[in-house]
Amino acid sequence: MTTWIVLGVIVLIAIFAILLYNRLVAARAQVDEAWSDIQVQMKRRYDLIPNLVETVKGYASHERQTLEAVIEARNQAATNTGSPNSQAQSENMLTGALGRLFALAESYPNLKADQNFRHLQEELAETENQISRSRRFYNGSVKAFNVMIQSFPANLFARSLGFSEREFLEFDDPKVAEPVKVDFGMPQA
């Protein structure tokens, strides 16, 4: 009889360990999927930027330094495959460069009125919104995963099974966390 009780306890512990491991794997997969979504949106952003710069070049070719800074920041961000912290730093630089580009565009009324430029601005603004949504989903997934790893009884097994906490994607400058401001020159009510 004692053998059956011991065997039953061992089976229950094994079932519990399997269920716990599977929950941790599912949570880790959700974090990975959320990070992948962010990278897809950022790639879309990186693909839009050269078209935007080319459009601006036609109107403000003598503003070469600003245009080169945008392309350099874009290239650095696009090739960054590091941690969320590293990616956030690259994105901070890119957002700052884009802000200077849009400030430059304010000086050129013909550029602001250009249909292609306005279309690219709209696409970039939508992409910024999608990045923001993806970032919120990613950070929520990271929070749930980290809480799961830190909670009892998972905290007893998680590290030994190869699970470790993930980084949040946070921007240093609170202004950078906002989407790039796009002004279409329309009067406000």
**DSSP 8-state class, residue 130:** H
pLDDT in tens, the chain (189 residues): 889 999 999 999 999 889 999 999 999 999 999 999 999 998 999 998 888 888 887 777 667 788 888 889 999 888 888 888 888 888 888 888 888 888 877 877 777 777 888 888 888 889 889 988 999 999 999 999 999 999 998 888 888 888 999 999 887 654 444 555 544 444 444
Total length of the chain? 189
H/E run at residue 86? helix 84-105
What are the residue boundaries of the structural domains of the chain, listed by start?
26-161
- Residue 64 corresponds to which tokens in the numbers above? 């070469």
Domain 26-161: homologous superfamily in CATH: LemA-like domain (1.20.1440.20)
Using a 10 angstrom Cβ sphere, with 0-12 exposed, 13-18 middle and 19 or more buried, the burial of residue 21 is: middle
- Is the Cβ–Cβ distance between 129 and 5 less than 8 Å? no
Put simply, whether the predicted model's pTM sits higher than 0.85 gets the answer no
How confident is the model over 111-141, as pLDDT tens digits?
A: 777 788 888 888 888 988 998 899 999 999 9
Using alpha carbons, select from 126, 34, 159, 29 the residue that is nearest to residue 84: 34
H/E run at residue 164? none
What's residue 181's pLDDT?
52
- State the alpha helices, DSSP H only, in the chain: 2-59, 64-79, 84-105, 109-113, 115-150, 154-157
Q: At what angle do helices 64-79 and 2-59 cross, to 10 degrees?
A: 160
